[in-house]
């Protein structure tokens, strides 16, 4: 059997679709129709959330010196089971160095918050490559709408400056507990993250002003749109559960 040819890449920038795992329909030797789950190479098992498969497959596609930036929904950062297993492995194998946290409606369906995970691939090592992860919180107290207030490049200028693409090893936190508790740029060490429940990367330290200050609520149309987005997201989640249940019958 000849192994399939593989292209390894220096850079991968991807926005995986918000869908469940794929399957292929075929006929067996008896002529009956069957379904088989599609699993790209490089996975730690086949998971129900396709974003987990995409992230693993992208790491597998990289050259040893390759770099990636992958858009994922919030659940990839915190879900247990397979999600926890994948996160731990990702922190060990490549160097996961930056996570940009975004508000709803930017990449995915309304109500779904997105994140961009940046990592550099590395050769095999007995010690984890990830030493610290820098988080930029651009979703707490941030409101964007597709029509009235769309996301612009200028909105991310502070993140670009903090990221310091010329030399990311000379970054400086903007968060300081005493002097600037509202700073959006903060780092956590590998040991701090591993100690978290389920190795969760769903980290935020900023206070949600809409919950604490009733006099500082967004405009009514913004609140109404957010409520509609959350309801649409919840409906989409229920529909996905229903599709899975029907597939198991």
Which residues lie below 8 Å from residue 235, measured CB to CB, with a gap of 6+? none
Work out the mean pLDDT of the chain and round it to a whole number: 81
What phi, psi does 110 have (nearest 5°)?
Answer: -55, 135
Identify the weakest region by mean pLDDT among 68-72, 125-129, 192-196, 237-241: 237-241
In a domain, 106, yes or no: yes
201 has a pLDDT exceeding 70: yes
In a domain, 60, yes or no: yes
In a domain, 3, yes or no: no
Would you state the pLDDT for residue 233? 63
In a domain, 4, yes or no: no
Structure confidence at residue 41 as a pLDDT band (50, 70, 90): very low
Structure confidence at residue 168 as a pLDDT band (50, 70, 90): very high
What average pLDDT does the segment 40-54 reach?
A: 59
In a domain, 218, yes or no: yes
- Domain total in the chain: 1
Look at residues 135, 104, 107, 133 and name the one whose alpha carbon lies nearest to residue 120.
133
| Residues 180, 183, 186: CA angle, nearest 5 degrees | 115
User: The domain containing residue 138 runs over which residues?
Assistant: 9-248
In a domain, 178, yes or no: yes
Cα→Cα distances 172→84, 119, 186, Å: 29, 19, 8
In a domain, 70, yes or no: yes
Structure confidence at residue 211 as a pLDDT band (50, 70, 90): low
- The CATH number covering residue 113 comes to 3.40.50.150
Would you state the pLDDT for residue 172? 96
């Amino acid at each position: 059997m000849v192994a399939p040819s593989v292209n390894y890449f220096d850079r991968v920038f991807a926005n995986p679709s918000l869908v469940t795992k794929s399957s292929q329909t075929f006929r067996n030797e008896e002529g009956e129709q069957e379904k088989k789950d599609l699993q790209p190479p490089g996975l730690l098992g086949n998971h129900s959330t396709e974003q987990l498969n995409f992230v693993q497959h992208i790491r597998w596609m990289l050259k040893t010196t390759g770099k990636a930036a992958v858009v994922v929904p919030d659940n990839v950062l915190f879900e247990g089971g397979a999600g926890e297993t994948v996160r731990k492995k990702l922190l060990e194998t490549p160097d996961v160095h930056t996570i940009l946290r975004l508000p709803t409606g930017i990449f995915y369906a309304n109500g779904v918050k997105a994140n961009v995970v940046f990592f550099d691939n590395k050769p095999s090592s007995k010690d984890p490559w990830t030493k610290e992860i820098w988080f930029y919180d651009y979703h707490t107290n941030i409101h964007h709408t597709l029509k009235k207030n769309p996301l612009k490049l200028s909105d991310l200028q502070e993140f670009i400056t903090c990221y310091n693409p010329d030399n990311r090893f000379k970054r400086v936190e903007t968060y300081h507990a005493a002097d600037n508790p509202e700073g959006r740029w903060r780092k956590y060490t590998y040991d701090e993250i591993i100690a978290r429940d389920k190795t969760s990367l769903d980290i935020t330290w900023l206070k949600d002003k809409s919950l604490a200050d009733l006099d500082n609520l967004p405009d009514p149309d913004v609140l109404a749109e957010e409520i509609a987005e959350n309801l649409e997201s919840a409906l989409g989640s229920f529909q996905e559960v229903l599709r899975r249940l029907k597939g198991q019958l």
